[in-house]
Amino acid sequence: MTDYVSPKELLQEAVQLARRKSDLPVRDMLIRGILAGAFLGYATSLVFMVSSQGLPPIAGAMLFPAGFVMLALLGLELVTGNFALLPAGVMAGTVGVTRLLRNWAWVYAGNMIGSVLYAALFYLAITNWRTGNGGAIADLMKVAAQKKTLAYVTLGPSGWATALVKGLLCNWMVTIGAVLALVSRSTVGKIAAMWLPIMTFFALGFEHSVVNMFLIPSGMMLGAPISVGQWLFWNLLPVTIGNLVAGTLLTGMALYVTYPTATAPAPSQAQLSTAGQEEHQAAFANAAGLH
C-alpha cells in the first residue's frame, strides 16, 4: 500500500496545519521558533566544517537539509515555511489575517533569537572561548558573510535587488520542502521529499533569511568588517521580502488556487447536541465498567 498523499489531500492537510499553527500560544511560537533557528544554525555550521576540510561545495549542500528535516519532524516553527502555509489557510478561510501576521512576527523573532544564540555559542566553541581565531572554518564564514552583505553594498541598488531575487528563488524551494513534508505518511518518505528542494536551493547559493541570521552574525563575531546596519538593510530586509513573496505567492497561493480545498462546514447545533449525548453515554459506560 502506497503512503503517497495526493496534491489535493496534501493541500487539505496543509490548510489544517496552518490553522493549528495560527492558534499556537506566543510561548510555543517563541520556543519552537528558537529551536528551529538553532537547528538551521547547526546545519549551516556543518556545511562550513565540511568545506573547511577541502570537500566540494555540493557535499555541504547534500548535508544541509539535515537541519530542516529535524525541525520539520519535530513540528517546530520556521517563518519561511509559514510564509506559504498560513496564506493557504487564509485563502481557505481557516486562518485570519491577524492570526497570520501574529504567527509570522513571533516566529520570526524566535528564529532570530535561536540563530544568534547558536552563533554566539558556536563562536565560543571554535575560538576556544575567545582564545583563538577559529581557524579555517572561521575564515570561510567571514568571507561568506561579506559576500552576503558588502558585495551587495558595492553594487548599490542592483545589489539590494539581487539579494531580493535570491531570497525569492531560495524560498520557492524551501516552501516546496515544507509542503512536501506532508506528501508521505512515512518518516522516510517525508525525509526524502523534503531533502530534494532544500538541497537544491543551498547548492545554488540562494539567500535564506533564517540561515543568514546565523551566518552573518557569526562572521561579525569572528571579525568580518560588517556593521549591524549593513546586515539588516543589505541582506536581512531584501532577503526576507523575497522569502515572503515566494512563499506566499509562488507556493502557498499558487498551490491552493490549482488544488482548491473546501473548508469543513461548522457543525450544526443538532450535531453538537448528539455528539454531547454520545460523549456522556460513553463516559457513563466507562464509569460502570462496561468498556
For range 266-272, the mean pLDDT: 42
pLDDT at residue 1 in the model: 52
Tell whether the model's pLDDT for residue 287 goes beyond 90: no
**Res 149 pLDDT > 70:** yes
Number of neighbours of residue 260 by Cβ within 10 angstroms: 11
Higher-pLDDT residue of 264, 58: 58
Do the domain assignments include residue 30? Answer: yes
Task: Tell me how many degrees the CA angle 84-171-48 measures, rounded to the nearest 5.
Answer: 135
- Tell me, what's the pLDDT at 260? 85
| Residue 27 belongs to some domain of the structure | yes
Tell me the backbone φ, ψ of residue 132, rounded to 5 degrees: -130, -175
Residue 39's domain is classified under what CATH number?
A: 1.20.1080.10
- Output the nine-digit C-alpha cell for 51: 568545506
Mean predicted confidence (pLDDT) in 245-272: 75
Cβ neighbour number for residue 104 with a 10 Å cutoff:
17
Inside any domain, residue 285: no
Please compute the mean of the pLDDT values over residues 90-105 and round it to a whole number.
97
User: Mean pLDDT throughout 11-32?
Assistant: 97
pLDDT digits (tens, 9 = 90+) for 181-220: 999 999 999 999 999 999 999 999 999 999 999 999 999 9
Q: What is the pLDDT of residue 2?
A: 79
Number of domains composing the chain:
1
Residue whose C-alpha is closest to residue 218's, from 140, 163, 160:
140
Q: Are 224 and 142 in contact (CB under 8 A)?
A: yes
23 in a structural domain: yes
CA 107 to CA 89: how far, in whole Å? 17
Domain that holds residue 180: 7-266
For the record, the C-alpha cell of 142 comes out as 567571514
- Whether 85 is in a domain gets the answer yes
For cell 552583505, what's the residue? 149
Share of the chain above pLDDT 90, in %: 88
Residue 221 and residue 120 in contact, taking contact as beta carbons nearer than 8 Å:
yes
Judged against a pLDDT cut of 80, whether residue 286 lies above it is answered with no
In a domain, 164, yes or no: yes
156 domain-assigned: yes
Residue 277 lies in a domain: no
- pLDDT exceeds cutoff 50 at 119: yes
Can you spell out the DSSP letters for 253-268? IHHHHHS--PPPPPPP
